[in-house]
Structure 1
Amino acid sequence: MLAAERRDHLLDLLAREGKVVAKDVAAELGISEDSIRRDLRDLAAEGLCQRVYGGALPASPAVVGYAERQSVTPGGKRRVAAAAVDLIRPGGTLILDGGTTALAVAGLLPPDLDCTVITHSPTVVAALLDHPRAELFLLGGRIFKHSAVACGAAAVEAAQNVSADLCLLGVTGVHPDAGLTTGDADEAAMKRALAARAAETWILASAEKIGTASPFRVLPWDRVVGLITDAAPDHPTLERLAAAGVEIRRAN
């Protein structure tokens, strides 16, 4: 089989099965695992897969820059945000992550909702400046321009001094095996710090993130209450997560 044919075969496996196991494909095609690993390295360099131990998973399309992400499935993000807003109780304290879905949550907060919003996102704070009843706390640190959020040691330390009823956390990848992932190590550490300070953490993930993975793990599934998504309920990833006991809240 030619290299181009192997490439097409690997991409087809990723689309159909949601993963590639290098040793299984090598045995199926009668070639060495090294050849498959080289193919996967090439695909990963093009952003077409996320390499993991023993093979690869579909790469998340959500690792592009903040400006580009604003044009990726805005309808889906708004549906996820609307479902998330229903979890916020009057008088409660909310830790709201950065990113475009979190920004949609900020835009949908009812004007008569008394709440406190803690965030490391300057864009979220800016979106809520005119909210008549929301108290705002901005956690500071080095600004990670890719996602327009504060992260690094100073931001993590600031997060350790707050607490909340609810944390709404965004990720770029949602996969039953890889867990909850994102594209930057410091951002992943900040997300862990935020989640650790809330009584409940829910994951916000529009459909394009489901079944994909990014390089850095944020949290295992047992550290969150559930997932809010607009992906189809019969999506194989959601079926596996539900079978494992993850609560899934549908965004319609």
Structure 2
Amino acid sequence: MLAAERRTHLLGLLAREGKIVAKDVAAELRISEDSVRRDLRDLASEGLCQRVYGGALPVSPAVVDYAARQSVAPDGKQKVASMAAALVRPGGALILDGGTTALAVAQALPRDLICTVITHSPTIAAALLGHQQAELFLLGGRVFKHSAVTCGAAAVEAAQNVSADLCLLGVTGVHPEAGLTTGDAEEAAMKRALAARAADTYILASSEKIGTASRFRVLPWEEISGLITDADPHDAFIKQFKGLGVEVLTAG
């Protein structure tokens, strides 16, 4: 089989099965695992898959820059945001992550809601300036422009000195095997620091992130309270999440 044919086969397998297991492909095509791994490296370099131990998973579309992500699945993000905003109780304290879905959450909060919002995103803070009854705390640090958030040692230290009832956290990939992932190591560490300071943590995941993976793990499944998504409740991945004991809130 020619390299181009192997490439087409691998992409088709990824689309059908949601993953590639290198040793299985090698046995099926009667080629070496090294050949499969080389093909996967080439595909990953083009942004067509996310390599993991033993094979590859679909790559998340949410790894593009902040401006580009604003046009990705806007309807799905609005649905997720509306359901997430309904979890914020009057008088409560919310830790709100950065990113485009979190921005939609900020915009969905009632303008007269009395609450405290803690965020490491200047974009989120700016979006809430018109919410006169909301007290805002902005955590400082190095600005990670990809997601318009602060991260690094200073931001993590600041996060360790706050607490909240609820944390709404964004990720770029949600996969039953790879777990909850994002594309930057420091951003992943910041997300963990934020989640650790809330009584409940819910993941914001519009449907295009379901079944995909990025390079860095954020949290294990057992450390979240639930997943908020607009994905079809009958989707195979959603069924797998529920099988793992994850509470899935479906935004219709």
Range of TM-score over shorter length = over 0.9
Q: What is aligned with 2:160?
A: 160
Between the aligned partners of 1:246 and 1:145, the Cα distance in structure 2 is 31
8 Å contact kept, 2:113–2:131: no
Between the aligned partners of 1:63 and 1:121, the Cα distance in structure 2 is 17
Partner of 2:200, secondary structure, is strand
**Offset from partner CA, 1:35-76 (integer Å, 9 cap, x none):** 000000000000010000000000001000000100111111
Q: What is aligned with 2:182?
A: 182
1:63-78 mapped onto 2 (5 Å cutoff): 63-78=63-78
Give the residue type in structure 2 aligned to 1:96: L
8 Å contact kept, 2:111–2:130: no
Between the aligned partners of 2:206 and 2:148, the Cα distance in structure 1 is 19
Q: What is aligned with 2:53?
A: 53
**How far does residue 112 in structure 1 lie from its aligned partner after superposition?**
2.3
**How far does residue 110 in structure 1 lie from its aligned partner after superposition?**
0.6
Q: Which runs of 5+ in 2 are unaligned?
A: none
Give the residue type in structure 2 aligned to 1:5: E
Q: What is aligned with 1:213?
A: 213
The runs of 4+ residues in structure 1 deviating greater than 4 Å are none
Between the aligned partners of 1:206 and 1:195, the Cα distance in structure 2 is 19
Partner of 2:222, secondary structure, is helix
Give the residue type in structure 1 aligned to 2:108: L
Between the aligned partners of 1:142 and 1:153, the Cα distance in structure 2 is 9
**How far does residue 111 in structure 1 lie from its aligned partner after superposition?**
1.7
Give the residue type in structure 2 aligned to 1:28: E
Q: What is aligned with 1:251?
A: 251
Partner of 2:98, secondary structure, is coil
Give the residue type in structure 2 aligned to 1:126: A
Give the residue type in structure 1 aligned to 2:132: P
Q: What is aligned with 1:22?
A: 22
8 Å contact kept, 2:97–2:169: yes
**How far does residue 147 in structure 1 lie from its aligned partner after superposition?**
0.8
**Offset from partner CA, 1:121-164 (integer Å, 9 cap, x none):** 00000000011211000000000011100000000000000000
Q: What is aligned with 1:110?
A: 110
Q: What is aligned with 2:197?
A: 197
**How far does residue 211 in structure 1 lie from its aligned partner after superposition?**
0.2
Q: What is aligned with 2:137?
A: 137
**Offset from partner CA, 1:205-236 (integer Å, 9 cap, x none):** 00100000000000010010110000111211
Partner of 1:188, secondary structure, is helix
Between the aligned partners of 1:7 and 1:239, the Cα distance in structure 2 is 30
Between the aligned partners of 1:48 and 1:111, the Cα distance in structure 2 is 41
Between the aligned partners of 2:237 and 2:5, the Cα distance in structure 1 is 27
In the superposition, the TM-score normalised over structure 1's length comes to: 0.99
Aligned-pair Cα RMSD in Å = 0.6
Partner of 2:47, secondary structure, is coil
Give the residue type in structure 1 aligned to 2:78: R
Q: What is aligned with 2:233?
A: 233
**Offset from partner CA, 1:59-113 (integer Å, 9 cap, x none):** 0010000001001111110100001011111100000000000000000111221
Give the residue type in structure 1 aligned to 2:175: H
Partner of 2:118, secondary structure, is strand
Between the aligned partners of 1:192 and 1:167, the Cα distance in structure 2 is 11
